[in-house]
Amino acid sequence: MLNGKSILITGGTGSFGKKCTEIILKRYKPDRLIILSRDELKQFEMSQVFSEKEHPCLRYFLGDVRDKDRLYRAFDRVDYVIHAAALKQVPAAERNPFEVIKTNILGAENIINAAIDRGVKRVVALSTDKAANPINLYGATKLCSDKLFIAGNSYSGYHGTRFSVVRYGNVVGSRGSVIPFFKEIQKTGRIPITHPDMTRFWITLEQGVDFVLKCLSMTIGGELFVPKIPSMKIVDLARAIAPECTHEIAGIRPGEKIHEVMITEDDARHTLEFDDFFIVEPEFTWWSGESHVSNGGKPVKEGFRYASNTNDRWFSVDDLKKLI
């Protein structure tokens, strides 16, 4: 469905954006693939890997999601938007709350308005497990962003722009991932562990991109998509990276959970389960998810909760070694 279309990726020079660009260029023949980001150095570095000369469909577009006027220019004749731009470092968000709100919440509003007014067909916004029952500012801003994108379908009206959200857990190899940190600190002989019982959802960049593109193709507008992905224990990750190191309990950082949740008990009341993913349906009077039900979606049980500690899919130490 991407052949001959114009696709724009916000935050396109980030870990997800680069992998998404690689996969789209490898599998499809888009008319235009626009990389929107605010860092000229990262765009220059990315253009050394994915050049406009080698890939004539590529466009590097400097801009910030905070700048509504710039988005109106960038979204000209764009068919699909993948919104990956965000400020996502939890400690930095706690120290700089106004900046995070401007990007993650007001930026989301700008994306929605520009997409509707410019006639974009579909928008998929990336979310995080930290947006479910958030306890830190980053998670709270992403929950707010999720709500804005879902509600964007009501604002779209006759324009027909469809908005949906994809929520998943920690990404292997992304910027800020714990893996490079553990590898760097490995030389000291000690690995700091925040809590011996801590668990996290785990997904690779390629799996994340594949799932986002799948959701882009099947969205009706209003869904919150959640993939079924494995959990892992932080102590197992440390054993996989540095089996020779001792573990040092460092304590839970501010705004951090012991276990992450992607679907809460309250969301379960309007959640459909498929073989490899869930759909949290919107609570709109106009919503009809009949097509999702006919494609195999089944309501989850009352009180269902999709959490990293009660997951039925797990990575062992050997699995993590192979992945790393």
The angle at the Cα of 216, spanning 211 to 222, to the nearest 5 degrees, equals 110
By the 8 A CB rule, do 17 and 86 touch? no
141 neighbors 92 (Cβ within 8 angstroms): no
d(CA 212, CA 290): 21
How far does CA 166 lie from the centroid of its chain? 6
Asked if 130 is an active-site residue, the reply is yes
- How many whole angstroms from its chain centre is CA 31? 25
- From the candidates 88, 130, 228, 257, which is the catalytic residue? 130
Q: How many angstroms separate the CA atoms of 234 and 304, rounded?
A: 24
Residue 295's CB: how many other CB atoms inside 10 A? 12
Q: Please identify which residue in the block is written with the tokens 């993590």.
A: 320
Q: What is the DSSP string of 4-59?
A: T-EEEEETTTSHHHHHHHHHHHHH---SEEEEEES-HHHHHHHHHHS-TTT-TTEE
Catalytically active residues are 130
